A and B are shown apart, each in its own frame.
Chain A
């Protein structure tokens, strides 16, 4: 039985802050930060937006593209995030309620740093293939947290991507998936802490690259494919540099990865990141083309997927706004308004 993507949708808040505006506040050199991270600006949520509202907007767009799917046919809803609005009370139930998927569905919030939603896609694939549900939905959404003045502040942004997984009417077939997970302390947030901590350079070699490369290679070995079988490659995008370097290590060219690199202008949307990159590729890919997607979540793990686009993509992709629309729909704010929107003032 085939399994794959029936619909996909994204959402990015309209506010942006430039690297220069953050660097000015902390006395950092904006030029070296921009060239070091390959990020020039990032998205910022409104005061009345959080992970639940972002997830609902993306999920509604996914449902528009999956036009044969009735909300009541979605038997599982997973929301992956590290900024769920409640410590206890599921974002997934809010999404299910807002889309009319309730009440005959299972739902749960997932957390695995930036890769929880690809784990959600795998769970949906299993439930669909096992015949337990007809369709499942996995959403990656974050209003990413970062301590003021920390290096993360230049990239931690907000956005969401939602995927409806099923066995028929596929816009893209998921040929196989492969995961690679180890206990690595590269980035964490303790219970009750406002902001995450990270291991600086330690987040690179033993963390991001180890998992992204090994998961991608493991998937290709499992399937018997190689780099030349793929038209596009998509990785988690903590900054603009890491995914480019991972692509190069694996033997992919800049052309393979460029269509997915939205990080430069919206920042790192954490749980939304690799799935927003995949959506950007689905917005332009042609039928028959193949995509290698590998997420990364600190802590640490990667889920890799081999995806083949189907003929249905042409008629479905225009049913909801593309990633490019949300990327270009923007209004700049300064650091003071950013601090207000992110509730950095505590009185």
Chain B
């Protein structure tokens, strides 16, 4: 994946920027990436756009030491499946966290980062990554 055409970047920008997924208003199931059809309700389903809170837990993770070219500069990095509090599982890097600190079940929150850039002259793709949740500011300050 050395080249991302601008339309491919643009098509996914909204969901990556705001963690926009979809929800079936018939059965309540939530989806990320967004779907157009509810796989449970089929034609009875009613899909609507929903913005996820960005809160979740690490469902599983791995440490990447040998990465695709566009992620090489971040190695070693944590790649995790994050289970959002609304249900869907999303794949994301975990940032502001050392590989030895990450744990399954860890509370995480979405943040906004650069995902990848093609080279010095190409489009920069931004979007969500996750960092360890830190609510200490609510009580300590």
Asked if B13 is an interface residue, CB under 8 A from chain A, the answer is yes
B112 touches A57 (CB 8 A): yes
Contacts of A318 in B (CB 8 A): 138
Within the assembled complex, what's the spacing in Å between the Cα atoms of A56 and B114? Answer: 11
Contacts of B124 in A (CB 8 A): 50, 52, 85-86
Which of A94-102, A226-234, A263-271, A285-293 forms contacts with chain B?
A: A94-102
A56 touches B112 (CB 8 A): yes
B129 touches A98 (CB 8 A): no
Within the assembled complex, what's the spacing in Å between the Cα atoms of A258 and B115? Answer: 38
Partner of B126, one of A47, A52, A321, A325: A52
Q: Mark B9-21, 1 if CB is under 8 A from A, else 0.
A: 0000110011000
Within the assembled complex, what's the spacing in Å between the Cα atoms of A211 and B15? Answer: 44
Within the assembled complex, what's the spacing in Å between the Cα atoms of A86 and B73? Answer: 20
Q: Which residue of B lies closest to A346 (CB)?
A: B120
Within the assembled complex, what's the spacing in Å between the Cα atoms of A255 and B51? Answer: 44
Contacts of B73 in A (CB 8 A): 47
Q: Mark B121-141, 1 if CB is under 8 A from A, else 0.
A: 000101001000010111011
Query: Secondary structure of the B side of the interface?
Result: mixed
Within the assembled complex, what's the spacing in Å between the Cα atoms of A322 and B136? Answer: 11
Q: Which residue of A lies closest to B138 (CB)?
A: A318
> Closest approach, in angstroms, between the C-beta of B124 and any C-beta of chain A?
6
Contacts of A49 in B (CB 8 A): 113-114
Q: Mark A270-303, 1 if CB is under 8 A from B, else 0.
A: 0000000000000100000000000000000000
Among B14, B111, B129: residue with most chain A CB under 10 A: B111
Contacts of A97 in B (CB 8 A): 13-14, 17-18
A-B contact count (CB 8 A): 56
Query: Secondary structure of the A side of the interface?
Result: loop
Contacts of B18 in A (CB 8 A): 97-100
Asked if B58 is an interface residue, CB under 8 A from chain A, the answer is no
Asked if A324 is an interface residue, CB under 8 A from chain B, the answer is yes
Partner of A48, one of B17, B51, B74, B140: B74
Q: Which residue of B lies closest to A321 (CB)?
A: B137
Partner of B141, one of A14, A85, A94, A325: A325
Interface size for B (C-beta < 8 A) is 24
Contacts of A85 in B (CB 8 A): 124
B14 touches A325 (CB 8 A): no
**Category for how many chain A residues contact B:** 20 to 34
> Closest approach, in angstroms, between the C-beta of A59 and any C-beta of chain B?
9
Among A49, A60, A94, A98: residue with most chain B CB under 10 A: A98
Asked if B78 is an interface residue, CB under 8 A from chain A, the answer is no
Within the assembled complex, what's the spacing in Å between the Cα atoms of A321 and B74? Answer: 27
Within the assembled complex, what's the spacing in Å between the Cα atoms of A119 and B96? Answer: 33
Contacts of B115 in A (CB 8 A): 48
Among B51, B138, B141: residue with most chain A CB under 10 A: B141
A324 touches B141 (CB 8 A): yes
Within the assembled complex, what's the spacing in Å between the Cα atoms of A318 and B111? Answer: 20
Which residues 84-141 of B sit at the A interface, judged by CB distance below 8 A?
Answer: 93, 95-96, 111-115, 124, 126, 129, 134, 136-138, 140-141
Partner of A94, one of B96, B126, B138: B126
A322 touches B137 (CB 8 A): yes
B134 touches A329 (CB 8 A): yes
Those 10 A-B pairs whose CB atoms lie nearest each other, nearest first: A325-B137, A321-B137, A56-B112, A48-B113, A98-B17, A48-B114, A322-B141, A53-B112, A97-B17, A53-B113
16 additional A-B pairs beyond A50-B114, A52-B126, A56-B126, beta carbons within 8 Å, are A46-B96, A47-B73, A48-B74, A48-B114, A49-B113, A52-B124, A53-B126, A94-B126, A98-B112, A99-B18, A100-B51, A318-B138, A321-B137, A322-B137, A322-B141, A324-B141
